[in-house]
């Protein structure tokens, strides 16, 4: 410490500490918190935003068999975007009230 300005030593120590805290906060906290709060945990995680589009013609084609079609709104379905009934387990476990969008023929 001889010959060094004490103010510079204190300042550099503070900067190193602040940088270390910033790096630790960036590396540890945000990722764990973000992933835990995800609604969509599985489907299309390689895209920035999951959006599905259907034209009226595509909807008519889907309904040609005369059966209603249920689209998942809970993000728990293994057959997303179609509902596979997984919302029932989610609702039972969490007390939530999610359910599909059903399009009738
Ligand atoms: S599985 Fe998601 S709404 Fe049915």
| Distance, CA of 70 to CA of 84 (rounded, Å) | 8
pLDDT at 64: 97
pTM of the model: 0.65
Find residue 103's DSSP bridge partners.
Answer: 69
pLDDT at 5: 84
- Identify the CA nearest to 40 among candidates 31, 50, 30: 50
pLDDT at 89: 96
Q: Which residues contact 69 (CB under 8 A, 6 or more apart)?
A: 62, 63, 82, 102, 103
Q: Which of 45, 49, 64, 92 is catalytic?
A: 49
- For residue 73, which atom of ligand 1 is closest to its CA? 3
pLDDT by 10-residue block (mean), the chain, 105 residues: 76 82 71 75 87 94 97 94 96 96 96
pLDDT at 91: 96
Cα 71 to Cα 22, 43, 63: the distances in Å are 42, 14, 13
4 a catalytic residue: no
Q: How far is the CA of 34 from the centre of ligand 1 (A)?
A: 22
Q: Which residues contact 50 (CB under 8 A, 6 or more apart)?
A: 40, 43, 44
Q: How many residues does the chain have?
A: 105
pLDDT at 30: 59
């Amino acid at each position: 410490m001889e010959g060094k300005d004490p103010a510079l030593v204190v300042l550099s120590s503070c900067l190193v500490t602040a940088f270390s805290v910033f790096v630790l906060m960036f590396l540890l906290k945000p990722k764990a918190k973000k992933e835990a709060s995800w609604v969509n945990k599985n489907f299309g995680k390689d895209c920035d935003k999951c959006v599905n589009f259907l034209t009226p013609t595509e909807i008519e084609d889907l309904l040609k068999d005369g059966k209603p079609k249920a689209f998942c709104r809970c993000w728990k379905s293994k057959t997303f975007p179609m509902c596979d009934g997984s919302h029932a387990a989610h609702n039972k476990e969490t007390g939530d009230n999610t359910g599909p969008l059903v399009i009738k023929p």
